[in-house]
């Protein structure tokens, strides 16, 4: 599949889908607290998604069994909501959520502190979030894909953390995953040029320890090989003549 540039009208449709995603993530951030299971969070997301008349991008995708990915502490991405995963004070919870509206897809993720977290956990969370902001700032016409990855990598590594390389961001539109791949590492000035109409889901996944990841037996849950904490943030971003437009920011 070739890279598909979107018109202003199509970007507006993507904005509608992403506003649903942001609404659901806001509701989950309000609800997440010690004593709540990730299974309950999935139920909250499904109920709110139905109210907003959207459709899940995750449920049934390659057999995935939930509308959310809920990744706690050393889980990097794709944690499956479970009744026996109960949040506790000090946890880091990364929530990834995607939705379709009128055939267009929105996708975003954020890491949420549960109760009082450690200073190291907060530093990891903030470095990951800020690396995404640094990447978004590079989303201008004429820049290159490598500028995005370089922005994430340089920000994260300067703070003593590591970028996961096994998973990357992606284009997004009528499908959740479209070309091109958007690595969170790389060399500035390299890769495809960014054109007006390109829409990317940029999603730094950052570990407190080494970048190595193991996939558990369920075929989905990715954990840090060394057991260290991980954080994940994601926004869907359109490249416009006026600069980057963050579609998933409410």
The residue ranges of every structural domain in the chain are 8-246
Q: Measure the CA–CA gap between 33 and 230, rounded to whole angstroms.
A: 19
In sequence order, the 6+-apart residues with CB closer than 8 A to the CB of 185 are 149, 150, 152, 153, 163, 165
Paired with 163 in beta bridges are 206
- Of 132, 162, 139, the residue nearest 233 (C-alpha): 132
**pLDDT given for residue 231 in this prediction:** 99
**pLDDT given for residue 54 in this prediction:** 98
DSSP letters spanning 7-67: -HHHHHHHHHHHHHHHHHHHHHHHH--TT-BHHHHHHHHHHHHHHTT-EESSTTGGG--SS
β-strand pairing of 222-224 with 75-77: antiparallel
State the number of CA atoms in the 13 A half-sphere of 41 facing the CB: 34
Q: Locate tokens 């950052």: which residue? A: 206
Q: Measure the CA–CA gap between 38 and 61, rounded to whole angstroms.
A: 19
Pick the CATH number of 8-246 from 2.40.50.140, 3.40.50.1360, 3.40.50.1820, 3.90.230.10: 3.90.230.10
- Of 63, 31, 62, the residue nearest 46 (C-alpha): 31
Helix (H, G, I), strand (E, B) or coil at 144: strand
**pLDDT given for residue 1 in this prediction:** 82
In sequence order, the 6+-apart residues with CB closer than 8 A to the CB of 70 are 38, 41, 42, 79, 80, 81, 85, 93, 94, 95
Stretches where the chain sits below pLDDT 70 are none
């Amino acid at each position: 599949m070739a890279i598909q540039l979107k018109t202003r009208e199509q970007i507006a449709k993507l904005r509608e889908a992403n506003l649903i995603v942001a609404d659901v993530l806001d509701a989950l951030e309000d609800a997440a607290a010690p004593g709540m299971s990730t299974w309950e969070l999935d139920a909250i997301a499904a109920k709110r998604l139905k109210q907003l008349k959207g459709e899940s991008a995750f449920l049934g995708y390659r057999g995935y069994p939930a509308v959310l990915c809920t990744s706690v502490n050393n889980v990097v991405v794709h944690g499956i909501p479970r009744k026996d995963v109960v949040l506790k004070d000090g946890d880091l919870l990364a929530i990834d959520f995607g939705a379709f509206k009128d055939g267009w897809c929105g996708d975003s993720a954020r890491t949420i502190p549960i109760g009082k977290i450690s200073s190291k956990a907060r530093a990891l969370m903030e470095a990951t979030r800020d690396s995404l902001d640094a990447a978004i700032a590079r989303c201008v016409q004429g820049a290159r894909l490598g500028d995005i990855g370089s922005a994430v990598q340089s920000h994260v590594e300067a703070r003593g953390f590591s970028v996961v390389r096994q998973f990357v961001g992606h284009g997004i539109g009528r499908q959740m995953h479209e070309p091109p791949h958007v690595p969170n590492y790389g060399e500035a000035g390299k890769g495809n040029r960014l054109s007006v109409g390109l829409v990317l889901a940029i999603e730094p996944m950052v570990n407190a320890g080494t970048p190595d990841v193991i996939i558990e037996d369920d075929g989905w849950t990715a954990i840090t090989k060394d057991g260290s904490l991980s954080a994940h943030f994601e926004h869907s971003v359109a490249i416009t003549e006026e600069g980057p437009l963050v579609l998933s920011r409410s």
